[in-house]
Amino acid sequence: MKNKWLQWASQLQSIAQAGLTFSRDRYDLDRYEQIRNLSIEILHEYTDMDQGKIRDLFAGETGYQTPKVDIRAAVFKEGKILLVKEKVDGKWSLPGGWADVNSSVTESVERECLEEAGARVKPTRIIAIHLANKHNNQNFLYTIYKIIVECELIENNFKENTETLDAGFFEANDLPELSVNRNTPGQINLCFEAKNHKVFETIFD
């Protein structure tokens, strides 16, 4: 964890969320609400986020807090990796995004590749399961697991869509500017390493 204050604020939020969900005592509910407010104050103090926005993010979460899942696809063609240009920042990333409810990892990967890159793929193995705050450059408010899945390319035909501006294949030593919150150079290099080794053990941390 890069910043202890973020770890503490997230932990306080998790405790408060669980307490507000499962407690029936009105005094305990009041205390858990105070803990949630404290977590919001900490995040507001150390970030540029408005308290109202932070509260909206947390207030929308109910039940026992669990990690969010971001699934990314590593698709290769002639030794090059498929990347998409994100509309949100104009930088490049592996096709992917949040896993949908009632969708398997395979279904999520296939959908994201088709929607963002116009690529039909067949998922073959999991390269890595990363805790985002250990590997990516942003301090995320929530715990995020990034699952990177190697995929076999069936066909690709990029089409205009709401999320990406372009798609292309890149060599390991000639990568475009990456959207590092989504994937880092280290994560891209890990994909190439897995591709170059038929026997590769999944990295999880």
In the chain, where the domains are located: 4-59, 68-204
Residue 1 banded pLDDT, cuts 50, 70, 90:
very low
Read off the pLDDT of residues 157-195 as tens digits, 9 standing for 90 and up: 999 999 999 999 999 999 999 999 999 999 999 999 999
Mean pLDDT over residues 102-109, rounded?
95
pLDDT attached to residue 133: 85
Q: Which residues pair with 156 in a beta bridge?
A: 119
Counting residues of the chain whose pLDDT is more than 90, the rounded percentage is: 62
Q: Which pLDDT does position 59 carry in this prediction? A: 64
Task: With H, G, I as helix, E, B as strand and everything else as coil, classify residue 83.
Answer: strand
What's the rounded Cα separation, in Å, for the pair 169 and 75? 9
> Which residues have C-beta within 8 Å of that of residue 118, sequence separation ≥ 6?
156, 157, 158, 159, 167
32 compared with 113, residue with greater pLDDT: 113
Higher pLDDT, 175 or 12: 175
* Residue in 133, 68, 98, 60 with CA at minimum distance from that of residue 52: 60
Indicate the fold that domain 68-204 takes in CATH: Nucleoside Triphosphate Pyrophosphohydrolase (3.90.79)
> How high is the mean pLDDT of the chain?
91
Quote the tokens at residue 183. 């994937």
Q: In the chain, count H helices and then E strands.
A: 6, 8
Q: How far apart are alpha carbons 199 and 39 in whole angstroms?
A: 44
Q: 30-73 pLDDT, tens per residue?
A: 998 899 889 888 888 887 777 777 777 766 677 888 899 999 99
